[in-house]
Homo-oligomer: A and B are copies of this chain.
Amino acid sequence: MIDLSCYQGARVLITGGLGFIGSNLAHRLVELGARVTIIDSLIPDYGGNLFNIHGLEDRVRVNISDVRDIHAMHYLVQDQDYLFNLAGQVSHTDSMTDPFTDMEINVRAQLSIAESCYRHNPGIRILHTSTRQQYGKPRYLPVDEAHLIHPTDINGIHKAAGEMYFIVYHEVYGLRATSLRLTNIYGPRQLIVHNRQGFIGWFIRKVLLDEQIELFGDGRQLRDMCFVGDAVEALLAAAAVEETVGGIYNVGGPEPVSLREIIETLVDIAGTGSYRLVPFPDDRKKIDIGDFYADYTRITETLGWRPVVNLRDGLEQTIAFYRANRAHYLPD
A73 contacts partner chain B, Cβ-Cβ < 8 Å: no
Task: Specify the main secondary structure of chain A where it touches its partner.
Answer: helix
A180 contacts partner chain B, Cβ-Cβ < 8 Å: no
Chain B residues within an 8 Å CB radius of A148: 146, 148-149
In whole angstroms, how far apart are the Cα atoms of A160 and B154 in the complex? 13
A251 contacts partner chain B, Cβ-Cβ < 8 Å: no
Task: Say whether, besides A151-B168, A154-B168, A160-B161, A108 and B115 are in contact (CB < 8 Å).
Answer: no
A-B contact pairs, 25 of them (CB 8 A): A96-B172, A99-B111, A100-B111, A103-B107, A103-B108, A103-B111, A146-B148, A148-B148, A149-B149, A149-B160, A151-B168, A152-B168, A152-B171, A153-B168, A153-B172, A154-B165, A154-B168, A156-B168, A157-B161, A157-B168, A160-B160, A160-B161, A171-B286, A171-B287, A172-B286
Q: Report A141-174 CB contacts with B as 1/0, cut-off 8 Å.
A: 0000010111111101110110011011001100
In whole angstroms, how far apart are the Cα atoms of A161 and B158 in the complex? 7
Chain B residues within an 8 Å CB radius of A108: 100, 103
Q: How many copies does the complex hold?
A: 2
CB-nearest residue of chain B to A148: B146
Task: Say whether, besides A108-B100, A171-B286, A172-B96, A164 and B151 are in contact (CB < 8 Å).
Answer: yes
In whole angstroms, how far apart are the Cα atoms of A100 and B110 in the complex? 11
- How many residues from A make CB contacts under 8 Å with B? 30
CB-nearest residue of chain B to A169: B154
CB-nearest residue of chain B to A95: B168
CB of A67 to closest CB in B, whole Å: 15
CB-nearest residue of chain B to A165: B157
Chain B residues within an 8 Å CB radius of A172: 96, 152-153, 286-287
In A109-149, the 8 Å CB interface with B consists of: 111-112, 115, 146, 148-149
- Which 9 pairs across A and B sit closest by C-beta, in order of nearness? A157-B164, A161-B161, A149-B149, A172-B286, A157-B161, A99-B111, A151-B164, A107-B107, A146-B148
CB of A285 to closest CB in B, whole Å: 11
Query: Interface centre among A115, A146, A150, by most B CB within 10 Å?
Result: A150
Q: Report A163-200 CB contacts with B as 1/0, cut-off 8 Å.
A: 01101100110000000000000000000000000000
CB of A89 to closest CB in B, whole Å: 14
Q: Report A17-61 CB contacts with B as 1/0, cut-off 8 Å.
A: 000000000000000000000000000000000000000000000
In whole angstroms, how far apart are the Cα atoms of A138 and B112 in the complex? 28
CB of A176 to closest CB in B, whole Å: 16
In whole angstroms, how far apart are the Cα atoms of A161 and B102 in the complex? 13
CB-nearest residue of chain B to A161: B161
In whole angstroms, how far apart are the Cα atoms of A96 and B171 in the complex? 12
CB of A88 to closest CB in B, whole Å: 15
CB of A286 to closest CB in B, whole Å: 5
